[in-house]
Amino acid sequence: MRLAPRLTLAFAFLAGLTTASLGYVLRHDRHQAEAERFEKEVRRACDSVSEELARQAERDVKLIGGACREGVLVSQVSSAIDRGDLGSLRFGFSQIVPHERVAFDMDELLLSADGGDIIGADPKPLYGMPRKEVDLLLFADETGFSLRTRERKAIVSRCVVSGTRKVGLAGVRHVDPMLARLARTLDVRVNPPDGSAALPLASSRRLLFPSGSFSPEPARAECSFRDPKGVVLPIVVTKPKTELVETLRKVDESILVWGAASLGVAFLFGIVLARSLGRPLAILADEAGKVAEGQARPLTVRGSREIKDLGLAFNRMIEDLAVTRRRLAATTRVAAWREVARRVAHEVKNPLAPIRAAVETLRRLRARDDPAFDDYFDEATRTVLDEVHRIANIVTEFTRFARLPSPRPEEVDLEEIVRHVLAVHKAAAGTVALDHAVRSAPPKIRADRDQIVQILTNLVQNGLDACRDTPGAHVRVVLDHDGHGRVTAQVTDDGPGISKDIAARLFEPYATTKSNGTGLGLAIAQRIAIEHNGELSYVGANGPRGAIFRLVLPVEGPPPASEGAPTSG
């Protein structure tokens, strides 16, 4: 994977990890805070219910007490008792009580004299109360209020006027309607009928990622309301967590949205940053790949300081490398020509020795008028001419090596060239068998036909020379195509093989094992292969003996720079 995608993925991973960690911590804190807020809200609702009951009890006490102190009804009853005419006025008093109950907004109102004598009551079933209960209700505690926990729970407020007989007025307010009204106001449930706080959670309210500590059970709070005598009315407030779940769901959605947005911004930032880092490095890598071919160019330095320093160092390296290459090329050329000159001088010096010996012998015989002069003259001149011819061959071959023309490529059939070369050498092969084989039919290639013929001729001729004294030997050319735009011609022979010392310098000028060879044939052949953008190499022995040479040529031919100009007609 390239650097830019790797950097982008790394930034995205780090951003995602950071965002997820921060989102998890934030979500946990918000969930805990919202849950605590909800629990406090339920507890406050319970306290509010208790406080409202206390306030209502105080208002009822004031209302009923005011009726005794300033009211007409209770005073009139007391006066009628004192006068002894209660019996004639009782019906009238009983008709006033329902109106007073409505005016006081009470659920029950009872007007009675001591002894359990009910003068007026509303609703009507109160007339059936036992006398003891009436006295207990009115005169057990003449001031304040009390809680009735039997039957229907209620707040009882009373007042008493003393006279000939005690006259009392008791107002009863039922607690359940008050609790229902407060539950609607506070949006809670007070004192569930089943005594349980377990209420079903709405199915449409689900957390996106439920917390491990989150319970779907409704929130519950317990408190109490008590009267002055210590009678306790327990209050249980419950509230479904629908609102809490909805709030937590919105929190999750917000965290997800902002997390995704942050991750997207980080991803885009990672792409921009990765491209700003990766593009200069990619350009640098591309140019660095061209260094070996000598085609690298100086870079336009952009990016951060480190990238600029790297680009400047690369440009300096290219400059230094170009200078070094020029120096190395010059030094190599000088060394190569020096080696060639040394070998040419050596090759020329060898025939000069017999020429000099023959000339010196002739001069000695001539100086003393030796009768053998005439007989030796023919032999000496023949030796001189042979060696001069040898020197001429050396010079000719060297000239060919030094002035090898550039390839003039055309579309040629390599198999046809091989058949032609083998046919030319068939007559001189003698007992050596010549043949060729095709492993994979090669396509036509672009090459200089004459130069390819020259390479194959040299390889086949060397194979024939090596096999002259080997009975039943053969020289074979095998053609192949690798399927990747390159064809191969492999020449094998059954000769004695090549020693390691000679194999190491086979393609050097004047390296030969033949007594009459110049040592330039393989050097010229390798140079032709290289100028065709191919390769000529010595593979090794053909089994226990023999030799294998391989010629590799590209199908598309030599590079344009090595193609010679077409000759005119």
- Domain-by-domain residue ranges, the chain? 57-186, 305-402, 410-562
* Phi and psi at residue 133, to the nearest 5°: -65, -35
Per-residue tokens: 45: 């609702």
- Taking a C-beta distance cutoff of 8 angstroms, is the pair 417, 450 a contact? no
| Rounded Cα gap, residues 131 and 114, in angstroms | 9
Indicate the CATH number for domain 57-186: 3.30.450.20
3-state SS assignment for residue 56:
helix
- Give 51's Cβ-side CA count (13 Å radius): 6
Q: What are the residues facing 552 on neighbouring strands?
A: 488, 535
How remote is the C-alpha of 465 from its chain's centroid?
A: 65
| Owner of token pair 């209620």 | 154
Q: What are the residues facing 446 on neighbouring strands?
A: 411
Per-residue tokens: 236: 């249980």
Multiple choice CATH, 410-562, 3.40.190.10, 3.30.565.10, 1.10.565.10, 3.40.47.10: 3.30.565.10
- Using only C-alpha atoms, the chain has a radius of gyration, in whole angstroms, of 62
Q: Residue 213 to residues 20, 28, 101, 256, 495: CA-CA distances in angstroms?
A: 19, 10, 52, 20, 91
- Taking a C-beta distance cutoff of 8 angstroms, is the pair 463, 434 a contact? no
| Rounded Cα gap, residues 100 and 105, in angstroms | 8
Question: Kindly report the CA angle at 350 between 349 and 351, in degrees rounded to 5?
Answer: 95
Q: In the chain, count H helices and then E strands.
A: 12, 15
Which residues of the chain register pLDDT less than 50? 193-205, 565-569
| Owner of token pair 């190569």 | 336
3-state SS assignment for residue 530:
helix
- Residue 470 has what DSSP assignment? S
Which of 1, 2, 3, 4 has the alpha carbon at shortest distance from 275? 4
| 305-402: CATH class | mainly alpha
| Rounded Cα gap, residues 416 and 438, in angstroms | 12
Cis peptide before 123 (omega within 30 of 0): yes
Q: Residue 183 to residues 60, 226, 243, 405: CA-CA distances in angstroms?
A: 21, 19, 16, 110
Total residues belonging to the chain: 569
| Rounded Cα gap, residues 462 and 431, in angstroms | 15
- Taking a C-beta distance cutoff of 8 angstroms, is the pair 256, 9 a contact? no
Q: What is the pLDDT of residue 51?
A: 92
3-state SS assignment for residue 85:
coil
